[in-house]
Amino acid sequence: MTKENDEMIEGQFCPVCKQAVEVVSLRYPDYVCNDCVLAATDKQGREVIFYNSDVFGHGCAGKYRDNGEDYLSNICYIRGIVFEANEAYMGFRY
Ligand SMILES: [Zn+2]
């Protein structure tokens, strides 16, 4: 238990653009806002989107926005920051 977990969090901010985001859970302190999720790309800068899916048993799948081709990774890039998509949120990859 860290000190942060004991504190009341009144606001939460997107780690990319710093705008306020709705607090989904204290488990996700680095929750990325919808605007930034929509700006996600692969390493080459091609836009990808993620959606919840049970297909891989992991609850998350991605595909390319331009042609719907499967994106077989949950790693994406938003404004130069590496993120990992999970079933419930998009967060930093540590
Ligand atoms: Zn944002």
50: phi then psi, degrees, rounded to nearest 5 = -120, 145
Distance 52 CA to ligand 1 centre (A): 20
CB atoms within 5 A of ion ligand 1 belong to 14, 16-17, 33, 36
Q: Indicate whether this model's pTM tops 0.85.
A: no
3-state secondary structure of 51: strand
Give, for all 94 residues of the chain, the pLDDT tens digit: 455 555 555 678 888 999 998 776 666 667 788 889 889 999 999 999 887 655 444 556 789 999 999 998 888 999 989 988 775 555 655 4
- Residue 1 domain flag: no
- For residue 59, what pLDDT is reported? 56
Distance 18 CA to ligand 1 centre (A): 6
Q: Which amino acid does the sequence have at 85?
A: A
- Residue 2 domain flag: no
Quote the domain boundaries for residue 69: 9-92
Distance 9 CA to ligand 1 centre (A): 18
Q: Considering its fold, how many domains does the chain have in total? A: 1
- Residue 4 domain flag: no
- Residue 54 domain flag: yes
DSSP code, position 4 = H
DSSP code, position 32 = P
Distance 76 CA to ligand 1 centre (A): 14
Distance 37 CA to ligand 1 centre (A): 7
Q: Judge contact between 35 and 78, C-beta under 8 A.
A: no
- Residue 24 domain flag: yes
- For residue 71, what pLDDT is reported? 93
- Residue 3 domain flag: no
